[in-house]
Amino acid sequence: MLTYHDRQLHLNGHALAPLAYGVATPFYVYSLDAVLQRARAFQQAFPRAWLAFALKANRHLPLLRALAAAGLGADVVSLGEWRAALAAGFPPARIVVNGNAKSDALLRAAIAAGVASINLDAAEELPRVVDAARAVGRRAAVAVRVNPGLDVHTHPHLQVAARGSHFGVPLTRLVEVAQTIARTPELAWQGIHLHPGSQLLQPEDWHAWGRAARAAITRLRAAGLPVPQVNWGGGLGITYTEEPDPTPADLAAVLLPYVADLGVERHIFEPGRYLVARAGVLVVRVVQVKRAWGRRFVAVDGGMNALLRPALYGARHRVWPVVQGEPNGPATVVGPNCESADVLARDVPLPEDLGPGDLLAVLDAGAYGATMANGYNARPLPAELLV
C-alpha cells in the first residue's frame, strides 16, 4: 500500500508530496481501496454476520459514505456520531448504539428512527430507555452489553470488559436484566453485546472471548431466554509494525466454534481500527532539527494535537520520509506543543540530511487519529483527504 516510486512515497499509487502543495500540514490521507479490501475480508470470514463500522475510529464523511454504499452498518456512541452516520447514508436499521452515558436525545432519536439495537450498558439505564421509547411511541430493540471480567492482553486503557471496568453489565446480573427487558412492553429483546477490548492480537484472548460468549448464552438459555443475536464488538488489532496483522479468517476460526451449536441467528461485528488504521497516513512538515544531549530531535508541525495515541497510550508508529533518503541515523520526532509528552516517535531511522520544510509520513494512523485530534495550544484541526 505504501511504496516508493522515484524516491517519492506513494499511498496506493498516489504521491503524497503533491497533496501538500494545496493543503496545510498536518493532514491525514486515507486509501479507500485499502479500507474496502479489509471490509471484504471481514465479510468473507463471517458470511452470516453484518459489520457495523465503529465511527469512533474514523468519521471522515466521504469514507463513511463509501462504507455505507458497500453495505456496512455503523456503530455510534454519541448524538454527533449518530448524525454523521445518517448523513453518510447508513440506514437506521443497520446502526447500533453503544456507550455508557448515552444522552436522552440520542436514545430518543435512535429509537424513533428504528435503530438496529440499543446496547444497554447498565441495569440503571433501563428506565431511561423505556422513557425514551414511550416519548417517541416506538418499541426499542435492546441488547445487553455483558462484562464477563476478561483480563485480555492490551493496554489498560483499552480493556473494557475487565473486572472493575465501568462498562457493561456483570455476567452475574445478565439473566436478571435480560428478563426485565423481555417482559417490558416498550422493549424488544435482541441478545448480547460482548466487546472484550481493543487491539487484541493473541489467539488466547480470542478463545477467552468465545468462551465468555458461550457462557453468557448458556446462562440465558437455561433461564428460558432465546439469544437470536450476538454482537461481538470490535477488538481485532493490527501490529503497527512490518509484521503481518492477524486476519478476520484467523479470528473466525477461533470464535465461531464456541457458539456454533447454540442457535444464534445473527452475528454483528463492530470493526474500526482493523479496517482503517493501515489505510491512513498523517503527513507532517519538519520545522527544525535540533541536536542536544547526544540526540537528534526532529520538530514537526503536528504532534499530540493531531495524533494523540503516542501520548495517551505510549503507542508506536513508524515514520517514513516522504522523499526517500538513506536512513543513517536515529531521531526522535517531536510535536510543537508545550508538553514533554508531545513525542510522535522515538529513535526512528531518518535521513541525516533531513531539514526544515521536508515532509514526514506517520504510518498506520487511519484509526483514532483525526477523531481524537484536538485544539491544544489553539492549533487548527488537521485536514483529511480520501484517495
What is the residue type of 350?
A: L
Q: Quick one: DSSP state of residue 12?
A: T
Sign of CA dihedral 280, 286, 291, 292: negative
Query: Residue ranges per domain, the chain?
Result: 2-29+279-386, 32-276
Strand partners, 73: 52
- pLDDT exceeds 80 at position 166: no
- For the chain, give the mean pLDDT: 93
Q: Are 303 and 382 in contact (CB under 8 A)?
A: no
pLDDT one-digit tens code per residue, 314-329? 999 999 999 999 877 8
Sign of CA dihedral 321, 325, 330, 331: negative
**pTM exceeding the 0.85 threshold for the entire prediction:** yes
- Taking alpha carbons only, the member of 317, 364, 11 closest to residue 3 is 11
**Residues involved in catalysis:** 338
Q: Are 357 and 2 in contact (CB under 8 A)?
A: no
Q: Are 360 and 284 in contact (CB under 8 A)?
A: yes
- Taking alpha carbons only, the member of 205, 209, 181, 176 closest to residue 195 is 209
pLDDT one-digit tens code per residue, 229-241? 999 988 899 999 9
Instruction: Give the SS3 label for residue 365.
Output: coil
Q: Take residue 320 and report the three cell numbers written for it.
A: 517514513
Sign of CA dihedral 356, 351, 313, 282: positive
Sign of CA dihedral 361, 54, 229, 218: positive
- pLDDT exceeds 90 at position 68: yes
- pLDDT exceeds 80 at position 165: no
Instruction: Give the SS3 label for residue 135.
Output: helix
Q: Take residue 375 and report the three cell numbers written for it.
A: 485544539
Per-residue confidence (pLDDT) for residue 147, from 0 to 100: 85
What is the residue type of 289?
A: V
- CATH number, domain 32-276, options 3.20.20.10, 1.10.10.10, 3.65.10.10, 2.60.40.10: 3.20.20.10
**What's the whole-number mean pLDDT along residues 304-319?**
96
pLDDT one-digit tens code per residue, 131-151? 999 999 999 999 999 987 566
Parallel/antiparallel/unpaired status of strands 343-350 and 329-334: antiparallel
The CATH number that domain 2-29+279-386 falls under is 2.40.37.10
Rounded to the nearest 10°, the torsion over CA 17, 19, 20, 23 is 180
